Amino acid sequence: MGLALKLISQRIALGFLLLLAVSALIFAGTEILPGDVAQSILGQSATPESLANLRAELGLSEPAVTRYFSWLGGIATGDLGTALTSGTDISSAVAQRLGNTLFLAAVAAVISVPIAILLGLLAVRFKDRWPDKLISATTLASISLPEFFIGYLLILVFGVKLGWFPTVATVYEGMAFGDRLMAVVLPALTLTLVVLAHMMRMTRAAILNVMQSAYIETAELKGLSTFKIIRKHALPNAISPVVNVVMLNMAYLIVGVVVVEVIFVYPGMGQYLVDHVSKRDVPVVQACGIIFAAIYIGLNLIADVVSVLSNPRLRHPK
């Protein structure tokens, strides 16, 4: 386990360094955005003196490097700052919004991950036959459609025409679990259709790669059924790339929900980010960016750790 622990420690250290680099890019990117927050708050009729006073009050007159390290220190202590346009605490607003986004992503993951693995197994079991071709064609079609098109199509069919589900995903604190599930059915289904195809195709490719191994041929010579070979021999050895794919798509479910949340007016992190981008509320944009980056890097880090631990050559180097 010594080599495995060393690799895991290196992955974790690289993850923190990458997050630090991303934080610098996020801060620099928001600094070069056009426009003036003070001008947008006070309006076009504001005098130069009032603009200068507001910039000083908001801390915008300090050097960028000073503001970056101050912002970084606040993040380390859990202080994301204050929204410039509303004066509210960003941490409090983000806590509820992030919970809504995680709930939506969890519902989509619970639906998509088992179905993707099952479809991948079926595609391998019936390789080059009609079930494999049907599954591949269907998933290829869904992966080719952008999520906004899928979302609007689901709204039209299941929300407007059939009236089965609400077209606006309204959730609030204290809402019953069943009502919350009903509200997120359409956005969760949209995310499911977006990530399902990629997970299924990568699962199929990973298992087919393992199926070419010598021990699989030995199992076939013993007379084991194809499904038993896949379940007992191929899938456990293909778990590492499958976990990588699942984690990457989980990261997308959380980070890539911006478009879906805007379509369904869902009160999550994506909607919160878009609302404040239009107002040029830089602290909110920076806070959302660093949270999304931390989640994405963290999930990829988990995938790397699982890959290391699932590799017997690393766990038992001798």
Q: Can you tell me whether residue 5 is helix, strand or coil? A: helix
> Could you please report the per-residue DSSP string of 11-67?
HHHHHHHHHHHHHHHHHHHHHT-SS-HHHHHH-TT--HHHHHHHHHHHTTTS-HHHH
Is the CB of residue 137 less than 8 Å from the CB of residue 200? no
10-to-4, 7, 245, 259 alpha-carbon distances in Å? 10, 5, 21, 34
Q: Can you tell me whether residue 287 is helix, strand or coil? A: helix
The tens-digit pLDDT sequence of the chain (318 residues) is 566 677 778 788 888 888 888 888 888 777 766 666 665 565 566 666 666 666 666 666 666 677 777 777 777 777 777 777 666 777 777 887 888 888 888 888 888 888 887 887 777 777 777 877 887 777 777 777 777 788 788 888 887 888 788 777 777 777 777 777 888 888 888 888 877 777 777 777 777 777 666 666 676 667 666 667 766 666 666 666 777 777 777 777 777 777 787 888 788 787 777 777 777 777 788 888 888 888 888 888 887 777 777 665 555 555
User: Taking Cα atoms as reference points, which of 191, 106, 104, 95 lies closest to residue 148?
Assistant: 191
Which residues lie below 8 Å from residue 210, measured CB to CB, with a gap of 6+?
216, 233, 234, 237, 238
Specify the CATH number of the domain 92-278: 1.10.3720.10
- Residue showing tokens 């960028």: 64
Give helix 2-31 / helix 64-76 axis angle, nearest 10°. 140
Give long-range contacts, CB 8 A cutoff, 24+ apart: 149-156: 150/190, 150/193, 150/194, 151/186, 151/187, 151/190, 151/259, 151/260, 151/263, 151/264, 152/263, 154/186, 154/189, 154/190, 155/186, 155/263, 155/264
Which tokens sit at 192? 């499911």
Distance CA 18, CA 23 (A): 9
Q: What is the pTM of this model?
A: 0.74
pLDDT of residue 226: 67
pLDDT of residue 231: 64
Is the CB of residue 269 less than 8 Å from the CB of residue 257? yes
Q: According to CATH, where is 1.10.3720.10 located in the chain?
A: 92-278
DSSP H or E segment with residue 225:
none
Distance CA 165, CA 53 (A): 50
Which tokens sit at 151? 């979302």
- Residue showing tokens 């509820």: 96
DSSP-assigned letter for residue 231: I
Q: What is the largest CA-CA distance in the chain?
A: 86
Task: Mark residue 83 as left, alpha or beta (left: phi above 0; alpha: psi -120 to 50; beta: remaining).
Answer: beta
pLDDT of residue 252: 75
pLDDT of residue 45: 62
- For CA atoms 285, 287, 292, 297, give the dihedral sign: positive
232-to-108, 213, 227 alpha-carbon distances in Å? 28, 14, 9
